[in-house]
Structure 1
């Protein structure tokens, strides 16, 4: 009984100190939670900023008129690519084409000749010149607005791309149809027939 009385007396005499200790512990816990939450928020903001400013440079083989093909480099990302340099080749890296530009804005696209004598080539010539496993090797180096560096050694997925040439070529029959002098007239005729059928 005396021991219990002494304990109660000690608590009453030191209640202010105990309250301060309890309050300090609560403040430490709250500060820790706030710090963790703040770090998560900052991390999410950094990631969001990186996504909004990330350039995505993609090489393609495309046709200007459904017949002749050319090689193109385009920034399909949301941010600009700074200090951009690239090279591409087919079969022999010693014959690589090199290109540089200080700034490649989002949506900006540049077209270059394919690695053939005539540059832009019809599908038939491409099918004759290139085998099924012939690819254009593309490597690029650049940075984004934040200062992140993209190069073949550190960011291989973003900077090293291979394009199979024959996979990008319209099949011969389709290309022949598109090149037919009556191609446009045939489409108009078919649309008129569809329109007539809809009115019936």
Structure 2
């Protein structure tokens, strides 16, 4: 059976339509994946020091999207102490701070006090979080933070940074003094 020109045109149109539909499906999928990545929340636990002495535990949304219906449990493993905490929304970049130890009446807690409280253990904070993203998809995160290890690393890195900063300030002051003398 011979094909006619109108039939060939109809077949070409059908093939073009199939190819265009497939391309549209691929582009839509790629758009969905990129949008999902851009709206994904990521809750991370951290331990840091303020002004070199005050130690605190923080929960931060490091992702690109808001975390909804947040339910978090955290605490020291060796103390059998846990905190239950809920928040309806944590926007990207939001940080919620808790002073260590968590049940302390005083917010002025020094590294030495935490070391005494932790004793011979590693001072591991167990962190578990459950939340949903903007599309209602559930997310979970379980992590451990070794308090003393983090604090020791921060002290070592801040000592190195401080020495370099002093050197840099001295260099810049010498440059300014030289410019002032030349004027």
TM range (shorter): 0.7 to 0.9
In our comparison, the structure showing a higher alpha carbon Rg is 1
Q: Tell me how far apart the structure 1 counterparts of residues 24 and 154 of structure 2 sit (CA, whole Å).
A: 59
Aligned CA RMSD, in angstroms, stands at 3.3
2:111 — aligned with what? Answer: 123
Q: Which residue of 2 aligns with 1:54?
A: 40
Unaligned runs of 5+ in 1: 1-9, 12-16, 152-158, 178-182
Whether the 8 Å CA contact 1:70–1:112 is kept in 2: the answer is yes
1:116/1:145 CA distance change after superposition, 3 Å: closer
Deviations 1:34-89 (A, max 9, x none): 12111111111111211221111111111122112111111122211111110012
Choose the corresponding residue for 1:142, options 126, 131, 137: 131
8 Å contact kept, 2:76–2:126: yes
Give matches, 1:92-171, under 5 Å.
95-115=81-101, 118=104, 120=107, 121-130=109-118, 131=120, 133-151=122-140, 159-170=141-152
The alignment covers a number of residue pairs equal to 169
Contact 1:87–1:98, Cα closer than 8 Å, also in 2 = yes
Match of 2:181 in 1: none
Distance 1:42 1:195, change over 3 A: closer
Distance 1:133 1:31, change over 3 A: farther
Q: What's the TM-score once normalised by structure 1's chain length?
A: 0.70
Checking the alignment, whether the CA contact within 8 Å between 2:39 and 2:65 is kept in structure 1 is: yes
Structure 1 range deviating more: 17-26 or 160-169: 17-26
CA contact (8 A) 1:123 1:172 kept: no
Q: Which runs of 5+ in 2 are unaligned?
A: 179-183
Contact 2:72 / 2:129 at 8 angstroms: preserved in 1? yes
TM-score normalized with structure 2 length: 0.75
